Chains A and B, each alone.
Chain A
Amino acid sequence: MSLLLTTKLTKHFGENRAVDGVDFAVREGQVLALIGSNGAGKTSLVNLISGLLRADSGQIQFRGVDVTAESVHGRIRAGIARSFQLVNLFDQLTCLDNVALSIFAREGKARKLFSLARRYRGIWEEAAEVLHRFGLDGKARMLAGGIAQGERKLLDVAVAYALHPRLLFLDEPTSGVSTREKAPIMDTISSIVRSQGITAVIIEHDMDIVFNYSDRIVCMHQGTILAEGTPDEIRRNESVTTTLIGTPAS
């Protein structure tokens, strides 16, 4: 059975059919790449599933439960987490704080008003451990607003990862960094996701990365799913290659 299943999911912005009757399925344990040219509707689809946008029509099922009407908070509780295409961090907090906040929220401790945050040793240790996994040890005490772009992309993923999601959406985790930095970032993310058995959906433009790191690929075009299959199948699919030709590689 699918971990996530959308049925006829639709979101229009006026005349613009950003997401148009999409049936999208993600199986447990997969690393799935979501590809498509600019404006294909990839981010919009993730926005619908994560609750940032409300669907015009259609259903979203997660672990067999209809979450279409669920709040963002409810979806996070259910196990859906996401990172953002444009880095979205708490810039005036330290990197350690950024990750720790996810853990406080996950543990239901973020509402504690009358006890010092520093008392929760276990949470700080876990936050430090998460930073370590993402190779950000040295940045723990730096403000998130003051680290390099590549590190910010990783921290953005780390903040979502620290929620211990069952399904993790990563919206272009390597956009805005130099080509040289892309592979190391993907290596880090991929090894964490695979070693923890997290199901992940990665939106990516760089086809080398897509073919290298994913088990399955879904290609969107003008709000609909154009094709899906294994990397080999997608590589041979002519409609995919023609629609992606003429779009920038990254």
Chain B
Amino acid sequence: MTAAVLSGEGRSPVKVVASAAPVVVLLWVLPYVLAPYKTLLLTYGLVMAIAALGFNLLLGYTGLLSFGHSAFFGVGAYAVAFMVKYLDLTSMELFIVGATVASAFVTALFGLVCVRYTRIFFSILTLALSQVLWSLAFKFFWVTGGTDGLRVPTPRLLGRAVAASEDKTTFLVHAYYSYVLVVFLACVALMWVIVNSPFGKALQAIRDNETRAEFVGVQIWRYRWIAFMVSGVFTGLAGALWVPLNGLTTPDILYWPFSGEIVFMAVLGGFRTFSGPIVGAIVFNYLKTYAVGFTVYWQLLLGVILVTLVLALPTGITGTAGQLLARLRRAA
């Protein structure tokens, strides 16, 4: 049933926008109602949602489980940090352009190697390549700042700097949140078009049956390569949006557990639906924050939650919600 969500000639864009509108309005007013701290968490959630959305183009639509998306997130983040450190830039728009170019370059390169493999071999290759970047971040500490990382000050948004009267939290919770929200919505719209495009159909065909896809004339590795790049660029963009929020980038975001978190988000929300990774990313951020505050063994706790979820809700939050809705509708 959930698979049907990904299929068909696709719903009319007008209807999709109409059904998404209430959520957009809600996201727009939330900063005025929520405590600043909660809005901050939501901002992180939206940023990670872009990363998870990119990740899921590979997992949900192409059938490739990447265990190295931390690499692309890190490339986006470090691209911004380098632009600050070496070019003295402060414009968020330039950061976005820079991070996009940098992550497109790295994903194009990594993709050439990885997309020739599938299943566990693909996962291990992506993992290995991301670990290479991670170790480079240590080795070239005079460039990357090593474990200290690189600081990134608050950027200018559309040429506007933080007013002297404004404190950093207010800036992040209002101006920056709105900025992230707009980029997030643009990314969601773009990804929705991509997965509902002929190309998106071809990816799903490759996922379902590689041999047959080849025998209708789809050049598999080319499609996978493009999907890999699109996926990585979304994640790199998320990295760029994340640095100003965090104020600092360290090699932690290149390390494999961070890739694991992105996988977690998609599985938690449901990788078989379009919106699953978005919901997963936002929920994960709250979960993680509370788990960290609750116990030093937060990773263990999250692990237990993940296992429970996979067993109890194999279709994730959105998949299960969809099934419940369908059942309610049938009962009514």
Give Cα distance in the complex from A93 to B219, angstroms.
19
| A191 CB, min distance to chain B CBs, angstroms | 23
B212 touches A89 (CB 8 A): yes
Instruction: Say yes or no for A110: interface residue by CB 8 A criterion.
Output: yes
Instruction: Say yes or no for B22: interface residue by CB 8 A criterion.
Output: no
Binary B-proximity of A101-115 (CB < 8 A = 1, otherwise 0): 110111001111111
B-chain residues with CB within 8 Å of residue A109 when the two chains form the complex: 198
A159 touches B212 (CB 8 A): yes
| B7 CB, min distance to chain A CBs, angstroms | 5
Instruction: Say yes or no for A91: interface residue by CB 8 A criterion.
Output: yes
A-chain residues with CB within 8 Å of residue B202 when the two chains form the complex: 101, 104-105, 110-111
* Most interface-central of B3, B4, B13, B212 (chain A CB within 10 A): B212
Give Cα distance in the complex from A163 to B215, angstroms.
10
B-chain residues with CB within 8 Å of residue A101 when the two chains form the complex: 201-202, 205, 213, 216, 218
Instruction: Say yes or no for B246: interface residue by CB 8 A criterion.
Output: no
A-chain residues with CB within 8 Å of residue B12 when the two chains form the complex: 118
* Most interface-central of A76, A116, A124 (chain B CB within 10 A): A116
How many chain-B residues does the 8 Å CB contact rule pick out? Answer: 35
Give Cα distance in the complex from A73 to B219, angstroms.
7
B-chain residues with CB within 8 Å of residue A141 when the two chains form the complex: 8
B216 touches A116 (CB 8 A): no
| B196 CB, min distance to chain A CBs, angstroms | 5
B196 touches A117 (CB 8 A): yes
B3 touches A92 (CB 8 A): yes
Return the contact of B208 from the options A73, A93, A106, A160 (Cβ within 8 A): A93
Instruction: Say yes or no for A179: interface residue by CB 8 A criterion.
Output: no
B199 touches A111 (CB 8 A): yes
B-chain residues with CB within 8 Å of residue A124 when the two chains form the complex: 9
Give Cα distance in the complex from A112 to B6, angstroms.
17
Instruction: Say yes or no for A81: interface residue by CB 8 A criterion.
Output: yes
B216 touches A163 (CB 8 A): yes
A112 touches B218 (CB 8 A): no
Binary A-proximity of B1-18 (CB < 8 A = 1, otherwise 0): 001101111101100000
- Say whether chain B's binding surface is mostly helix, strand, loop, or mixed: helix
B194 touches A117 (CB 8 A): no
Q: Are A100 and B196 also in contact (CB < 8 A) when A90-B208, A92-B3, A159-B216 are?
A: no
How many chain-A residues does the 8 Å CB contact rule pick out? Answer: 41
B209 touches A73 (CB 8 A): no
Binary A-proximity of B281-319 (CB < 8 A = 1, otherwise 0): 000000000000000000000000000000000000000
Residue of B at shortest CB range from A140?
Answer: B8
Give Cα distance in the complex from A72 to B230, angstroms.
26
A104 touches B194 (CB 8 A): no
A-chain residues with CB within 8 Å of residue B217 when the two chains form the complex: 73, 76-77, 102, 105-106, 110, 163
B215 touches A96 (CB 8 A): no
Residue of A at shortest CB range from B199?
Answer: A113
Binary A-proximity of B195-233 (CB < 8 A = 1, otherwise 0): 011111110110111011111111100010010001000
* Most interface-central of A50, A82, A89, A111 (chain B CB within 10 A): A111
Give Cα distance in the complex from A106 to B198, angstroms.
12
Binary B-proximity of A188-209 (CB < 8 A = 1, otherwise 0): 0000000000000000000000
Instruction: Say yes or no for B128: interface residue by CB 8 A criterion.
Output: no
Task: Pick the 8 closest A-B CB pairs, nearest first.
Answer: A105-B217, A90-B208, A92-B3, A88-B212, A118-B9, A76-B217, A113-B199, A104-B198
A-B contact pairs, 16 of them (CB 8 A): A52-B211, A77-B217, A84-B211, A91-B208, A93-B204, A100-B201, A106-B216, A110-B199, A110-B202, A111-B202, A111-B223, A112-B197, A113-B230, A143-B4, A163-B216, A163-B217
